[in-house]
Amino acid sequence: MSTVDSAALSEKLDTLIRIQAALAVKDMPTQREKIVFLYGAGLGPTYIASVLGTTPKTVSVAMAKHKKANASKGGQSDE
């Protein structure tokens, strides 16, 4: 497979992942729930931010708050 074919395939896969991520969280009521779900699915803050139309900093802060809340409850974090 050539570099051009590989780049085109990568772009198409990225598009499919973004569509699936958006569909998976569309009915979740809060941005924080969406962030926690997508983070738990293995997406990074920059990617989540681009899917949700926010900043990576917002995603990182939401995850930090989520992890802190879980730690204080004695629960397990979504890492």
Q: Which residue has the higher pLDDT, 74 or 8?
A: 8
* Extents of the domains making up the chain: 3-73
Residue 77 has pLDDT above 50, yes or no: no
Overall fold of domain 3-73:
Arc Repressor Mutant, subunit A (1.10.10)
Per-residue pLDDT tens for 12-69?
Answer: 999 999 999 999 999 999 999 999 999 999 999 999 999 999 999 999 999 999 999 9
Distance CA 51, CA 72 (A): 29
Distance CA 51, CA 19 (A): 8
Q: What are the Cα distances from residue 23, in Å, to 6, 38, 61?
A: 26, 11, 23
